[in-house]
A and B are shown apart, each in its own frame.
Chain A
Amino acid sequence: SAVISQKPSRDICQRGTSLTIQCQVDSQVTMMFWYRQQPGQSLTLIATANQGSEATYESGFVIDKFPISRPNLTFSTLTVSNMSPEDSSIYLCSVEDTGTRYNEQFFGPGTRLTVL
Chain B
Amino acid sequence: SQQGEEDPQALSIQEGENATMNCSYKTSINNLQWYRQNSGRGLVHLILIRSNEREKHSGRLRVTLDTSKKSSSLLITASRAADTASYFCATTRRNDYKLSFGAGTTVTVRA
Residues of A that sit less than 8 Å from B by CB:
1, 4, 6, 31, 33, 37, 41-45, 48, 59, 90, 92, 94, 96, 102-110, 112
Contacts and interface: CB of A to CB of B under 8 A. Distances in A.
A36 to B, nearest CB: 11
A3 to B, nearest CB: 11
Dominant secondary structure at the A interface: strand
A45 B40 contact: no
A85 to B, nearest CB: 17
Contact of A107 (B31, B43, B97, B104): B43
Contacts, number: 58
B45 A102 contact: no
A92 B90 CA distance: 15
B35 to A, nearest CB: 7
Contacts of A4: 42
Contacts of A106: 45
B98 A102 contact: no
